[in-house]
Structure 1
Amino acid sequence: MIAGATGAGLYSDRCHFGPCPIMKNPAFQVSILAGWAIACLCAAQEAPSPASGPAPVPAPLRPAFLLTAAVHRDGEELSGRWTYSRDLYRTGLTDINGWVAKSRMQRFRDIDIAASERRGGTDFFEFDLDRGPAMAIPGAWNAREPELRYYDGLIWFQRKFNAAPRPGRRAFLRFEAVNYRAWVYVNGKEAGRHEGGFTPFVVEVTNLLREGENRLTVGADSSHDAKSIPTPITDWDLYGGITRPVRLVWTPATFIDDATLSLGTDGRITGEVRLQGPHAAKQKAEIAIGTLASVSAVTDKDGRAAIDLPAPGALRRWTPDQPTLYDVRVTAAGDLLRERMGFRTIAVRGKELLLNGEPLFLRGISLHEEEFGPNPARDMTAPQARALLHEIKHGLHGNYVRLSHYPHSETTLRLADEMGLLVWSEIPVYWTVDWDNPAVLRKALAMQAETVYRDRNRAAVILWSVGNETPVSGPRTRFHAAMADNVRALDPTRLVSAALLVERRSAGGKAVMAIQDPLVDKLDVLAVNTYAGWYGADTLDALAGLDWQLPADRPLVLSEFGADALAGYRSGDRRKFTEQYQADYYRATLAMAGRMPTLAGLSPWILKDFRSPRREHPVFQNGWNRKGLLSETGVRKEAFGVLADYYRRKANQGGH
């Protein structure tokens, strides 16, 4: 959720992350929520079929700027060494009692402190970002300096760059992710702010730049609370800071902010182009899909042009085996947008998943956003992301990855498109959420929208998930239902799922596993996490006796199952944390899965060992969740081969 100079207050119920008097009014909150919920529900109910393109979306959920395909635009990368200043007590934002921060502590000030100190006088400062320590950005601070390993709070970052206003051009800063809250200042003036640690945001800085050197200051606050998404307790690492690239982007005064296309089941390609700027209306927009097809349309008064054309006869549909991408060019108002896009359909027929009308079995695994190495910093460069996806595609013979438990980097999504890996995407509505709080629901809907707008041009994405392992209750189900309606309104071309908990009971002397969750009525694809044989008293031999009672009318994905193993730890008997136990666990669970008649895919937990402060066994864990089939440095465990052999056989049976 972003607010700033160009869209202040659109998504925030807080003023500078302090309570806003109007939004504190419960009646106002409820009325706003009701309006949004009705708008989402109506949009979902009236949403056109996948063939007719994007449905209308409630205006507050659309960010002020998208800058779709920003990686291909004119601009400057701001990666490199940034100086920083810790601010655990947040004195750069507020003083005691919530007063305005004292000037001597305001890290965002545009001032040469060393020069001021040389002049002398009564002023003094308790920071100096010009002379502060430095770290590499992008990347989480937890891995950059030992003293920041478990730092959780606010750190200020500064980067100087040379730029100057360009007549007739607009300037934007696009952040791919800052975890978790961000305040952005340029030359001492606020440009915008954002809440949400895994989605991009854009702030306009056209009128803030000056000739020569410019000072960019970003406050990044990693702390979470009961009203954040996620809440403070998770099973992954803190990872604070500017974790993904920052880019200065230049556009014409009127520019193409967004363009999207998708292939419908009726054989037509539909979508839209959106312009921003003083001359966005009545502009001719031309779209070319490689050399196969071109079409033009004229923008309406809001700068939007609807696109509709028959799919070219020579169009090659994107599949994991042949992930064909086309160069798409959009021109309008003197601007050019370039994208790489694939075209495919995804649907459900009874218990089957259908890709391009053909049955599909998802041979996958779950993945956290951590690069290989003993000290990951979430610095997901293309080589780092490719190394992880290569193990799935070519090591495991997979065609699918569950990107857990938050939107992964744009680099990863584009590589999934290129390499042919289907994607499950989710936002971190995970375990515990303040289900009854309208402001928290707004955050979830906004994060969801930011994810969809970023990734809806990725053919690889087939599933939007609306939650993970959330205990059933009335408020929780209403919250998830609103998310399901919202994502259908935003993108009716993909399927909706959620990783559900299962209920265990006894019947006829047998253990029965069942989905007793009213949320199933909102889902296209059912998914459950199961750890029988690892958590609980079940032995591996007992898995054969588990009876699964499942709805027969929809496909099921085992979204998680797994067991910990320390790479290299083996013993003569089958005990937990050994490679043998993990391998046998996989054999037993895969055999159990084979008896599920509606099973349409698997994403076991997890590809690689990952950081987690919850996991502190001094011999086997030491701050790592060891359920990976690979160690943190990429060593394959015995279970890797078990799953690879299973997927090889599945692939040889045909299908995608």
Structure 2
Amino acid sequence: MVDIKRSLSILFFCFCSTIASRAQDSLITDIPGRQTISLNGSWQYIMDPYETGFYDYRYKELAQNTPAAYWSSDVPANKSDLKEFGYTDKYTLQVPGDWNHQYPKFQYYEGTVWYKKSFDYHIKSKNDKVYLYFGAVNYRADVYLNGKKLGMHVGGFTPFNFEIPKGLLKSKNNYLVVRVNNNRHKDDVPTLNTDWWNYGGITRNVCLVELPNLFIRDYFIHLKKGKLGTVPASKNADIIGWINLNRTPETQEKIAIEIPELNFKKEFSTSQKKVAVNFNLPKIQLWSPEHPKLYRIIISTKNDRIVDKIGFRTVEAYSKQVLLNGKPIFMRGISIHEEIPQEERRAYSEKDAEQLLSQAKELDCNMVRLAHYPHDETMTRLADSLGILVWSEIPVYWTIDFADKNVYQNAENQLETMITRDHNRASVIIWSVGNETPVSPTRTNFMHALINKAHQMDNTRMVSAALEVNYNSGKKMNVVDDPLGAFVDLVAFNEYLGWYGGSPDKCSTTNWSTIYNKPLFISETGAGAKYGFHADSLTRFSEEYQAWYYKEQIAMLKRMPENWVGMSPWVLADFRSPKRNNPLYQEGWNRKGLFDDKGNKKEAFYILQAYYKSLEEKDLNEK
């Protein structure tokens, strides 16, 4: 009976996801490989804590053509025309970028800010399409062009785009207005309570995307899996996937795939919107952390052409191991927040990605957990180039409203967008559907439905989540028996023995196990320390305490069961969090970083680095 109820619940969530409407158009992928016009730079703004520009005095959303609405023109029609708002270069914000770090008045601000960007545009032929693309806006974005609403998007870490209606763009004096609101709500994803800073603003790139009338919207091209536990062939490699057009072609359409380095080109003909592709490559080099080989791939139709770099590899959970290209791999990871701590801001650029991933490489990591939300696309693309494995996650975090079908739809939309944007990135090997969600039948049904969705969209990667731990199974044995473990591919859990509850020497008598015959992964572990604060090892927040913590953890890890396949300690660098209020050591910072907020390495960095180097050396010797 329990299984029937669970199945019905999953069907219910899936049904809800099919009938719910979208505010934005279907996502266009591979924006870096397309013709774009950047709208980044200086934007004018209005700070609107009372929502005067969006609601009337009865707190109802203003009508589309209301002159008082802040998306309307702020230029008076005549000297008697009343305008109680206006945009000026006196008040500007840089895009991309959160507003919190740009001016002191924005540091703790949660609410609405109106952004305005004026621009000219060379109008193209009537058959061409133009889309407006946002890398991310936190949290809700209402988008208006020349006074007309293009749409609305909810979710602070996923991209979205709108098609601009014909005739709306002008050659001169276009004005783009975006209402950005980062208020936290109980029925949001994430919900009210998080352990990170709620950075508001247009936090990632904005651009116009120029496309032909019939264009390639999305594609997924990958190495076909062989039999479980076998090495995929680098010779006579089978490549499969699909290409999705924006609409059904009016006549037969030819689509070509080229890989110049391999002197390969093949054409596919289709009269459908989506076409399956499969072909054989006589010889390829497989992508791996040791050899992150990427191939330049060109996909073209009669009027459209996009270029990408794709690596070919397979990954799977097989018995008690994780196999990359058919061979067991141990993941030497670290968790990362999307933040540049020395500037107290969101990360967004390639330079930012280089800083964070270079620090992970210096630690001798071959894997990163991008917590607790999808990071900017520059991170996953650079991870491809550097050979760093990636865990990518949606912000189903702690206690969201698992019984609300609209919350589920929000979570599923974010999962779908995350997968769609990055399903061609070889580095991404794990889709995560959440972190530390409390066990209940309602929660498990919710999460199981998300796992099913991820598997449905992409069966080439593992799906996981940070699960709950049963600490009451025995004094010396902690068991991962979260019911969600039955559905994930990789059983992952967070543990902080010696930081939350007891001291680090508690690790010396503790062992771990799981009831699932699957690979086991520690998705978080760590302790806080203020860089430069030195004391004996018993003193909290000292570098010595954090170092002791890692020493005891490493000793405990030597007793892990044989299905233990890796870890991603918490966390690469100190990050902002309003929950952390110790006036001496935290002051609004989570201090569990191995780097501090100025880029200094704490003692624990060298301990984990040495451990990882020893594991790498052992792995190389065994090979």
Could you state the TM-score of these two structures normalised by the residue count of structure 2? 0.92
Report the Cα offset of residue 111 of structure 1.
Answer: 4.0
Whole-angstrom CA distance in 1 between matches of 2:181 and 2:52 = 12
In structure 2, the partner of 1:382 is 350
In structure 2, the partner of 1:14 is none
Report the Cα offset of residue 371 of structure 1.
Answer: 1.6
In structure 2, the partner of 1:562 is 526
Correspondences of 1:365-404 after superposition (within 5 Å): 365-373=334-342, 375-393=343-361, 395-404=362-371
In structure 2, the partner of 1:298 is 269
Amino acid at match of 2:530: L
Correspondences of 1:316-331 after superposition (within 5 Å): 316-331=285-300
In structure 1, the partner of 2:116 is 158
* Residue of 90, 94, 105 corresponding to 2:55: 94
8 Å CA contact 1:496–1:523 kept in 2: the answer is yes
User: Alignment RMSD, CA only?
Assistant: 2.2
8 Å CA contact 1:85–1:132 kept in 2: the answer is no
Amino acid at match of 1:37: C
Distance 1:105-1:564 versus aligned 2 partners, 3 A rule: farther
In structure 2, the partner of 1:225 is 185
Amino acid at match of 1:148: F
Whole-angstrom CA distance in 2 between matches of 1:459 and 1:291 = 18
Q: Which stretch of structure 1 is more off in the superposition, 330-339 or 125-134?
A: 125-134
Aligned residues: 599
* Residue of 254, 265, 279 corresponding to 1:284: 254
In structure 2, the partner of 1:12 is none
Deviations 1:273-320 (A, max 9, x none): 11125736521101112332332212233x21111112x232111001
* Residue of 78, 94, 110 corresponding to 2:73: 110
Report the Cα offset of residue 205 of structure 1.
Answer: 1.2
8 Å CA contact 1:143–1:376 kept in 2: the answer is yes
In structure 2, the partner of 1:589 is 553
Amino acid at match of 2:46: S
Amino acid at match of 1:109: S
In structure 2, the partner of 1:626 is 591
In structure 1, the partner of 2:619 is 654
Report the Cα offset of residue 33 of structure 1.
Answer: 8.5
1:405 equivalenced with 2:368 (yes/no): no
Amino acid at match of 1:237: W
Distance 1:33-1:346 versus aligned 2 partners, 3 A rule: closer
In structure 1, the partner of 2:144 is 185
Q: Which stretch of structure 1 is more off in the superposition, 600-609 or 263-272?
A: 263-272
Aligned partner of residue 512 in structure 2, secondary structure:
strand
Whole-angstrom CA distance in 2 between matches of 1:204 and 1:64 = 7
8 Å CA contact 1:566–1:620 kept in 2: the answer is yes
Whole-angstrom CA distance in 2 between matches of 1:149 and 1:59 = 35
1:169 equivalenced with 2:146 (yes/no): no
Aligned partner of residue 520 in structure 1, secondary structure:
helix
Distance 1:148-1:559 versus aligned 2 partners, 3 A rule: same
Distance 1:576-1:379 versus aligned 2 partners, 3 A rule: same
Report the Cα offset of residue 174 of structure 1.
Answer: 0.5
8 Å CA contact 2:521–2:564 kept in 1: the answer is yes
Distance 1:489-1:39 versus aligned 2 partners, 3 A rule: farther
Whole-angstrom CA distance in 1 between matches of 2:477 and 2:418 = 37
8 Å CA contact 1:557–1:601 kept in 2: the answer is yes
Unaligned 5+ segments in structure 2 are 1-7, 227-236
Whole-angstrom CA distance in 1 between matches of 2:43 and 2:22 = 32
1:203 equivalenced with 2:152 (yes/no): no
Correspondences of 1:7-18 after superposition (within 5 Å): none
In structure 2, the partner of 1:47 is none
Deviations 1:143-197 (A, max 9, x none): 1110000100111000111103311211111100000000111111011110000
- Aligned identity (percent) is 39
Amino acid at match of 2:116: Q
1:504 equivalenced with 2:471 (yes/no): yes
Report the Cα offset of residue 255 of structure 1.
Answer: 1.1
Correspondences of 1:435-584 after superposition (within 5 Å): 435-505=402-472, 507=474, 510-536=475-501, 538-551=502-515, 553-584=517-548
8 Å CA contact 1:371–1:380 kept in 2: the answer is no
Whole-angstrom CA distance in 2 between matches of 1:280 and 1:613 = 55
Distance 1:145-1:104 versus aligned 2 partners, 3 A rule: farther
1:125 equivalenced with 2:83 (yes/no): yes
Distance 1:258-1:60 versus aligned 2 partners, 3 A rule: farther
8 Å CA contact 1:172–1:206 kept in 2: the answer is no
Whole-angstrom CA distance in 1 between matches of 2:377 and 2:402 = 29
1:420 equivalenced with 2:387 (yes/no): yes
Q: Which stretch of structure 1 is more off in the superposition, 88-97 or 426-435?
A: 88-97
* Residue of 272, 286, 291 corresponding to 2:242: 272
1:308 equivalenced with 2:278 (yes/no): yes
In structure 1, the partner of 2:215 is 255
Amino acid at match of 1:353: V
In structure 2, the partner of 1:216 is 176
8 Å CA contact 1:61–1:449 kept in 2: the answer is no
In structure 1, the partner of 2:232 is none
Amino acid at match of 1:108: W
Deviations 1:354-389 (A, max 9, x none): 00001100001000000241x322142111210110
Aligned partner of residue 432 in structure 1, secondary structure:
coil
Amino acid at match of 1:567: Y
Report the Cα offset of residue 268 of structure 1.
Answer: 1.9
Whole-angstrom CA distance in 2 between matches of 1:638 and 1:253 = 58
Aligned partner of residue 203 in structure 1, secondary structure:
strand
Deviations 1:86-139 (A, max 9, x none): 1112222212333343845411113424xx4xx322x32221024550011101
Report the Cα offset of residue 32 of structure 1.
Answer: 12
Distance 1:280-1:595 versus aligned 2 partners, 3 A rule: farther
Whole-angstrom CA distance in 1 between matches of 2:469 and 2:307 = 45
Whole-angstrom CA distance in 1 between matches of 2:612 and 2:409 = 40
In structure 1, the partner of 2:39 is 78
Report the Cα offset of residue 60 of structure 1.
Answer: 6.7
Aligned partner of residue 127 in structure 1, secondary structure:
coil
* Residue of 142, 150, 154 corresponding to 2:100: 142
Whole-angstrom CA distance in 2 between matches of 1:339 and 1:388 = 23
Report the Cα offset of residue 35 of structure 1.
Answer: 6.0
Aligned partner of residue 108 in structure 2, secondary structure:
coil
Q: Which stretch of structure 1 is more off in the superposition, 132-141 or 485-494?
A: 132-141
